[in-house]
Structure 1
Amino acid sequence: MVQKVNKMNDDIVTIFQWKLVSFVSKYNQQQNVFFIDLNNQIGHFYYNGNCWSYESLTGFVEGAAPKAGSPLTGFVSEYNQQQHVSFIDANNHIKQLVYCGNKWGCEDLTVAANAPTPQASGPLTSFASEYNKQQHIIFIDANNHIGQIVYDGTKLMYEDLTVAANAPTPQASSPLTSFASEYNKQQHIIFIDANNHIGQIVYGGTKLMYEDLTVGADAPTPQVGSPLTSFMSEYNQQQHVIFIDANNHIGQIVYDGTKLTYEDLTAGAKGVTPQAGSALIGFASESNQQQYVFFVDANNYIGEIFYNGATLSYQDLKLLTYEGRVLTGFADGYQPHVFFIDPNNIISHISYGLHCEELKK
């Protein structure tokens, strides 16, 4: 059963922009959720093992003001114990909030890397590659090329990934997703191209390469407006790309180290179909070797597809959302955590055991 925590009316943060990003910072054993609020300010909830706390980053860090409708992306770089949150400001520059252990700072990445500006409403994705101690922020520029701003520990640099990988350009409104596969020291940037194929730009240490995942896995094409999400399951050294296909089924392209394969997760788990425009998130819990995919169904309830190593299963979490396009989450140890916007237009959190709470200041 789901346990609902009663909200305190004077302590609730209400969401307007409906952008959420979350991650675990293992170095300080903290869970983090970032969002854009009613006043177009970036807020941060963090859990230190005892309780949730709140801080307004825009209100305390100079330059930390996103443009209306800005995307939001974030990651932790464990190797140097930093937290990173990136957004687009009113000048259409990519900026990054960085927490270095005692305070937050803000940097204009577009200026520092001498990079082109992103598309006005374009997506952002980001990750750290721990194996080579680098930080990556990915975007689509005004020329419809996928670009990367990289920090290598000494300086920020810009690279046109579309040109370097000889890749096709993304389709209009293509989503972006990315990750590093630490076990084989590779970097992966995934998008949907103009032919409605899911493509991947891969860096393996010497050069950038392009791969058509739709063709390689003999997978169906994504539906118009499909989101993308991706993750590594390090315990079995597999790579996963999740999307919604033209039949409104959630599909997965998997690389197991030797070949690409396609799997219909909706059919395999005997689950319900997602709503039009549903958000998708996926991740692995390394400690118990399970994989999770979350989505929003046609009735605006959150559904879960999980794989325990032997079988796929579906579960209706019985949680009603306000905005089906917004989900974020992660695994912390063996526990999955999902954050969403509830019918009261408030950030809610569900964790293992189906305990649900509204986050408050």
Structure 2
Amino acid sequence: MNALQSLLSFFTVLALGLGCGAAPAARESPAESESSLSALPASPRSTLAAFLAGNSSRVYYLDPVSTVSELASQGSEWKYSWLPGSARPGSALTGFQLGNSAPRVYFIANDSLVHELWWDGTWHDQALATQVGAPPAASDSPLVGFVRSGVYPRVYYVAAGNRHVQELTWNGMYWGVSDVTERAGAPAAAVGSPLTAFEVKGGEARVYFVGNSRHVHELWENSGGAWAQQDLNLATNAPMVDNDTALTGFATDGTWSHVYYVGFDHHVIELKFTAQGWTYTNVTPPEGPYATASATALTSFAVNPGNARVYFVMASNAVGELWWDGASWHLNNLTALASAPVSKANGPLAGFAIDGVYSRVYYLAGNDNVMQLAWSGSSWGVTNLTTTAN
């Protein structure tokens, strides 16, 4: 433990009591109990994860010593907490609600193993890879996941060595691991490949990655549990992905897959599955030309209930929104609309919709504070969660 971690842990004990913030100790959630610990800024290499747990918005990031930290809404207030997870610097984060409100958060530790932070009234940390003999994650591995049928977590990462996509699954009793690249007969993920994943048809997994050909590949599971793969750029004649692209996606009506990446022209490209098969669109809104920032993050979801919202960082480091109104695409500069600070260069993004209507987008400002952009139904507003939370 370095000097900064020791100092922070000392003040955590003073503020919260013995065991709070200690690495393997159980920890109370700030959404359930008061905390007097002020929120720390994010690590310069922090990623973000965000989702709803019950009626509480949850945002997760890495603090300056790579401890997983939580910002949780409690009514109109925000509460901050250290969680027991100590991640490797720059670790990817992912998470979701399990059941009615129980959060699950996943990260990669210094030993390159995937860990789960799980909540049952207190927080617990467990190394999933140790339980099932899963291979360690690659040094650049992303981490994505979802809940199958609302109950069974699935988490995906890229393994070190062969760069195969691995699936960690919970069946209600124990965790298992599967090499879905091998099962699908798919190529290995490229160095730096992102991942995105979601469920369709009430339980079938869809996982997307970038191969060495700079094409987006789909790993898809059928209702019988068998896996197959296809090259979506070949299927649609879509342009190759930019070298530093992110990936994001979701399903509408539980069936129709939407996947987004950045092309070499620094435009967002949509790959969409329809009744006629896969198609692609170079998203070019009538509001005028735009360009994504180099190595922009991406996040996306649907509202109302099937209209896409895609968020990215513009070349100016403003946060941009590409929104679909059912007939055409449009562009908003959310930083300008909300009078918000710009994103840090190469910063992360995360987001979701509340009640299928009210968009929430999270990013890091230049001072590594966590910012929330919120749609009220009529306008965009901004909140600095780092300075607001206690």
Common topology (TM > 0.5)? yes
Q: Which residue of the partner structure matches residue 298 of structure 1?
A: 366
- Within 5 A, what are the aligned runs for 1:19-58? 19-26=92-99, 29-48=101-120, 50-58=121-129
Over 3 Å counting, the alpha-carbon distance change for 1:216 and 1:230 in structure 2 is farther
Over 3 Å counting, the alpha-carbon distance change for 1:123 and 1:216 in structure 2 is farther
Residue type of the alignment partner of 1:203: F
Matched, 1:222 2:292: yes
Over 3 Å counting, the alpha-carbon distance change for 1:195 and 1:282 in structure 2 is same
- The Cα RMSD (Å) is 2.1
Matched, 1:246 2:315: yes
Q: Which residue of the partner structure matches residue 212 of structure 1?
A: 282
Distance in 1, matches of 2:369 and 2:379, equals 23
User: Secondary structure of 1:16's match?
Assistant: coil
Q: Which residue of the partner structure matches residue 9 of structure 1?
A: 22
1:261 to 330, 334, 352: 330
Q: Which runs of 5+ in 1 are unaligned?
A: 320-353, 357-361
Q: Is the 8 A contact 1:214 1:221 kept in 2?
A: no
Cα displacement (A) at 1:67: 2.2
Deviation string, structure 1 residues 194-217 (Cα, Å, up to 9, x no partner): 111110100013310010113566
Q: Which runs of 5+ in 2 are unaligned?
A: 1-11, 25-83
Residue type of the alignment partner of 2:22: N
Q: Is the 8 A contact 1:275 1:296 kept in 2?
A: yes
Q: Is the 8 A contact 2:146 2:197 kept in 1?
A: yes
- Within 5 A, what are the aligned runs for 1:98-247? 98-130=169-201, 133-154=203-224, 155-182=226-253, 185-215=255-285, 218-233=288-303, 235-247=304-316
2:345 to 252, 271, 276: 276
TM-score by length of 1: 0.81
Q: Which residue of the partner structure matches residue 343 of structure 1?
A: none
User: Secondary structure of 2:284's match?
Assistant: helix
Distance in 2, matches of 1:198 and 1:276, equals 18
Q: What's the % identity of the aligned pairs?
A: 23
Cα displacement (A) at 1:129: 1.5
Over 3 Å counting, the alpha-carbon distance change for 1:217 and 1:281 in structure 2 is farther
Q: Is the 8 A contact 1:35 1:42 kept in 2?
A: yes
Distance in 1, matches of 2:87 and 2:165, equals 22
Cα displacement (A) at 1:236: 4.7
Q: Is the 8 A contact 1:42 1:64 kept in 2?
A: no
Q: Is the 8 A contact 1:64 1:106 kept in 2?
A: no
Identify which of structures 1 and 2 has the higher relative contact order when contacts are C-alpha pairs closer than 8 Å and 6+ apart: 1
Residue type of the alignment partner of 2:373: I
TM-score by length of 2: 0.75
Deviation string, structure 1 residues 175-233 (Cα, Å, up to 9, x no partner): 111111127x4211100111111101000133100101135664511111211111112
Over 3 Å counting, the alpha-carbon distance change for 1:5 and 1:308 in structure 2 is farther
Residue type of the alignment partner of 1:161: L
